[in-house]
Chain A
Amino acid sequence: KQEVTQIPAALSVPEGENLVLNCSFTDSAIYNLQWFRQDPGKGLTSLLLIQSSQREQTSGRLNASLDKSSGRSTLYIAASQPGDSATYLCAVRRYSGGGADGLTFGKGTHLIIQP
């Protein structure tokens, strides 16, 4: 059974710092990995999608990497801002050769950027 772990569970840093969020998964047979942002009581906003054949994706100040063989992904946030405060979720999409589908989520990293 696929398990996704996110470290740290919570992080509080001053504004302007660069930071790294970590995600690990136990089964490397994935189709893709997706990073989401969730604000309190809100839905999920997709940040980055990395296909299984890719090593990284970038969007603005965000960069996500994927090392499928070791079961790891990182989300790098450059020059953090208070508006980046949210919970960040990592999710892997299972291999659907047998018809299975859906995302397996980590429990998230709760990020606070101090002004």
Chain B
Amino acid sequence: DADVTQTPRNRITKTGKRIMLECSQTKGHDRMYWYRQDPGLGLQLIYYSFDVKDINKGEISDGYSVSRQAQAKFSLSLESAIPNQTALYFCATSDRGGASYNEQFFGPGTRLTVL
């Protein structure tokens, strides 16, 4: 389903360029996340946001920044792209659910290549 959408789906850019990846969700969830996936390394958390006013760094935030423009929109920026940021980027959402939080739902991913 298209509850979590990411744009663009594929992007090729050059070293030093600024690039923005966008994520939108129609699930009404308050929490949003950005992950990157590298072959052999699995998925790693870049940033997450509890709501529009709350942004938190994940495991690998260096070289990235984010913006939560609205509850439904969470953007990831690479201010000056470098080749080792070539990866598959995923956006995810989740909602609060009592004492244990609910499951995360992932977008289709953006394949980014930095030359």
A34 interface contact, C-beta 8 A: yes
5 of the cross-chain contacts (CB-CB < 8 Å) are A31-B101, A43-B90, A46-B104, A93-B104, A108-B42
- Report the minimum CB–CB distance from B74 to chain A (whole Å): 13
Give residues 73-115 of B contacting A (CB, 8 Å).
90, 92, 100-109, 111
CB-CB under 8 A for A34 and B103, given A101-B50, A103-B43 = yes
B68 at the interface (CB under 8 A from A): no
Q: Which chain A residues in 1-15 approach chain B with CB under 8 Å?
A: none
A102 to B49, CA, bound (A): 10
A residues contacting B by CB (< 8 A) are 31-32, 34, 36, 41-46, 49, 51-53, 89, 91, 93, 96, 99-108
Q: Of A43, A93, A96, which is within 8 A of B109 by CB?
A: A43
Q: Is the CB of A49 within 8 A of B103?
A: yes
Question: Assuming A32-B103, A43-B90, A43-B106, what are 4 further A-B pairs, CB within 8 angstroms?
Answer: A32-B101, A42-B109, A101-B50, A103-B35
Chain A residues with Cβ below 8 Å from B102 are 49
| Cα-based distance from A108 to B40 in the complex (angstroms) | 9
Q: Tell me the minimal C-beta distance from B106 to chain A in angstroms.
A: 4
Q: Which residues in B have their C-beta under 8 angstroms from that of A36?
A: 106
**Per-position 1/0 for B16-57, Cβ under 8 A of A:** 000000000000000101010000111111001010000010
Quick check: is B63 within 8 A (CB to CB) of the other chain?
no
- Judge if B8 is at the interface, Cβ distance under 8 Å: no
CA distance A93 to B102 in the complex (A): 10
A107 pairs with B103, CB closer than 8 A: no
